[in-house]
Amino acid sequence: MSSGIRWSALGEYSTEGVIFVVYVILARLLAPRDFGLLAMAMVFVGMTDMFSRLGTNTIVIQQKRLTQGLLSSLFFLNLVAGIIVGGVFFLLSPLFGLLIDNPHVTPILRVLSITFVTSSIGSVHNGLLRRKLLFNRLAVIQLSAALSKGAVAIYLALAGYAVWALVIAILISDLLRTALLFFATAWLPRLHMDWREIKRVKSFMFNITGFGLFNSLSTRAGNFIIGRFLGATLLGYYSLAYRLQTLPNQYVSHVVGRVLLPSLSAAQDDDALFRRRYLRACAGVALITLPISVGLALVAEAFVLTVYGEKWRAAIPVIAILSLVGAIHSIAVLSGNIFIAKGQTGLWLKWGIFSGIISALSLLAGLPWGLVGVTCGCAVSTVALACLSFIISFRLFGLRLSGLFAVLRPYLLATAIMGLTVICLRGALDKLALPPAGILVCCACAGFLIYSICMFKIRPPAFKDFIDMLPGTAFSRLRVKLTSR
């Protein structure tokens, strides 16, 4: 298990590192409008993708009794669903282009319709690798797909393919990922369809698929609203900011969540142990994500001008706002593990429907104030929904908000002190007329030093927590921390 967790972290970190570097290069080669057009297309791809995968990945991992009949049935059910959804998506692409009021999106959607078939084919294989804890193979697959996607996108961007550099890269990396999943599992489906097996998991499948649909609605509503009413260029700025906001989730919350779900599932009948494991995971996430998110918000201008260039200046206020939201979201996203571990997927689905509707309404409410208004609407709804998700999920195992706040207090205090220091330093550096790169380096170093000192004084074990969170041999202790009494 510890080896699997280590590979999971290494795979996640290396893949996201490659994607981040590639994204920076592409941001300098392509125009914001190119990223905006892709983001418009991904609105519809993301909202319908769950129908082609049907939660198969999670079913394969979660089921106690996994038969060859069930695996083959899920594979062919997924394949048929992927073909149907991809075909319908291809035919409806012109309508989607009209909905978002941009005909340039239609050919992009038609090409991306192929990915519904490829992703549906590899879903069972992905679940098998995760169930067997073969994260070393998954890490190689993730990294290979990311490298191929980056290489193709950069080559085509240099060749002048504009947005098509991004689209073709997605398609090629998806095909490669599916092929590698087949090779890594060495499992081939039998020509068999057992509807009794499908019936056994249909409730679980429905709830997972339903939540995925409404969660996608929630996360992509901003892209649709901005693309439809404000245009592709402003959506390009928003998509860059949103990606940066999700980085702490990808680097920390997602990796911890992979360990947390089986850990909480094993303790689902012991609420006291359940609480300790959940709070320990929240503390580990907060240790890293809070200072990174707040720090990025404070140096957003220097970061954007140094890394992405002057043409992305309009994204600065959006990045600052969403980064602050990311600090809260990185912890709130762990709540989903509570619903699943407690077997409350029906409640999770209801929550997904409610949160999706509220998110969309809040974004529409900010539309009269332009891009910043929509971003503020996103921020307000995210914070409110995060607090409400804590209240609802905490009732399942007897935890209060005050209990979570007590655990997070040291990290919040240290982050606040770091933030005040960076604000004062940034003001002094502005008077010296330093270039953005100089301001970024000075503020980043000072923030890291102050936060480290504060954590050493406020909570001495924090350094041990940090070492336990690192990928490598030490990272294997994360599972020990989460599963220890």
Pick from 467, 430, 426, 459: nearest CA to 444: 426
d(CA 95, CA 418): 50
Neighbour count for residue 121 (Cβ, 10 Å)? 21
Per residue of the chain (485 residues), give pLDDT as tens: 444 455 556 666 677 788 889 989 999 999 999 999 998 888 888 766 555 555 676 667 666 667 777 788 888 888 888 888 889 889 999 998 888 888 899 999 999 999 888 888 887 887 787 777 676 777 788 889 889 999 999 999 999 999 999 999 999 998 998 899 888 887 888 787 777 777 776 666 666 666 666 666 667 778 888 988 999 899 999 988 888 888 777 677 777 776 777 778 778 888 898 998 899 889 888 998 999 999 999 999 999 999 999 999 999 999 999 998 888 888 998 888 888 788 787 887 788 788 888 888 998 999 999 999 999 998 999 899 999 999 999 999 999 999 999 999 999 999 999 999 999 999 899 888 889 999 999 999 999 999 999 988 888 776 665 555 444 444 444 444 544 54
**Going by C-beta distance under 8 Å and a sequence separation of 6 or more, which residues neighbour residue 382?**
325, 328, 329, 332, 359
d(CA 333, CA 181): 27
- Two tokens, residue 32: 């914001």
Torsion of CA 335, 336, 337, 340, to 10 degrees: 130
Give exposure, 421-457, as e/b (b: 16+ Cβ within 10 Å): bbeebbeebeeeebebeebbebbbebbeebbbebbee
**Taking each helix axis from N to C terminus, what angle separates 163-185 and 114-131, rounded to the nearest 10 degrees?**
40
Residue 160: HSE in the Cβ half-sphere, 13 Å Cα cutoff: 0
Longest dimension (CA), the chain: 72
d(CA 99, CA 92): 11
The confidence score (pLDDT) of residue 485 equals 45
DSSP 256-296: HHHHHHHHHHHTTT-HHHHHHHHHHHHHHHHHHHHHHHHHH
DSSP 54: T
Enumerate helices (H) and strands (E) in the chain, giving the number of each.
21, 0
d(CA 130, CA 133): 5
The confidence score (pLDDT) of residue 476 equals 47
The confidence score (pLDDT) of residue 478 equals 46
The confidence score (pLDDT) of residue 472 equals 47
3-class SS of residue 204: helix
The confidence score (pLDDT) of residue 339 equals 87
- Two tokens, residue 199: 């019936």
Pick from 88, 96, 82: nearest CA to 51: 82
The confidence score (pLDDT) of residue 4 equals 47
d(CA 326, CA 354): 20
The confidence score (pLDDT) of residue 213 equals 67
